[in-house]
Amino acid sequence: MPLLQLAYASRPVEYDGGVLTAILIEARRCNMRDQITGALICREDLFLQLLEGPAEAVEATYARICADKRHEHVRTLMRREIADTARMFSHWAMKYDPADSPVWTREEVAVGVPEAAGMEGVVSVFGRLAI
Ligand SMILES: Cc1cc2nc3c(=O)[nH]c(=O)nc-3n(C[C@H](O)[C@H](O)[C@H](O)COP(=O)(O)O)c2cc1C
């Protein structure tokens, strides 16, 4: 069965180690249950997350995430079907990356570069992290 791969960007409301840890623990617990894998890139100005898994589970998770008050300005960047063998983060319930990897700069995020990046641009950011 094909899977859904979805990426979004948002802005943390409060950027704090305790909040981040709580999000990751919760995300990993739910994602293991829901057969979802992915990655979360974090910086003061940016959450950038990729979710992949069964379509219904990914949509339900994304709906919960969109309603979460720990971030704001959620924008969907990419949504595509992938083969069930094509997960980018098959070994990660949610890989964490503190945006040390090459990702858009604060200035680029502020002027909307992620929204304009298109599918290839988004996949390439996560692709570097998946190596
Ligand atoms: C930036 C961010 C990323 C999140 N990532 C996930 C995730 O990958 N999976 C997940 O189930 N919940 C994730 N959450 C948490 C959800 O918003 C929600 O709190 C959680 O799924 C539990 O939902 P429930 O209390 O309705 O059961 C994330 C929240 C934020 C703010």
Chain centroid, CA 84 distance in Å: 18
Contact indicator for 37, 96 with CB cutoff of 8 Å:
no
What CA dihedral angle connects 33, 130, 45 and 120, to 10 degrees? -110
Which tens digits make up the pLDDT trace of 10-26? 999 999 999 999 999 99
For ligand 1, which residues put their CB under 6 angstroms from it? 23, 26-27, 30-31, 40, 47, 49, 51, 61, 64-65, 68, 70-71, 94
Question: What CA–CA distances, in Å, run from 88 to 24, 43, 108, 113?
Answer: 18, 21, 24, 22
Task: Return d(Cα 79, Cα 52) in angstroms, integer.
Answer: 10
Segment 92-126, tens digit of pLDDT: 999 998 876 678 999 999 999 999 999 999 999 99
Domains and CATH numbers, the chain: 3-130 (3.30.70.100)
pLDDT in tens, 49-83: 999 999 999 999 999 999 999 999 999 999 999 99
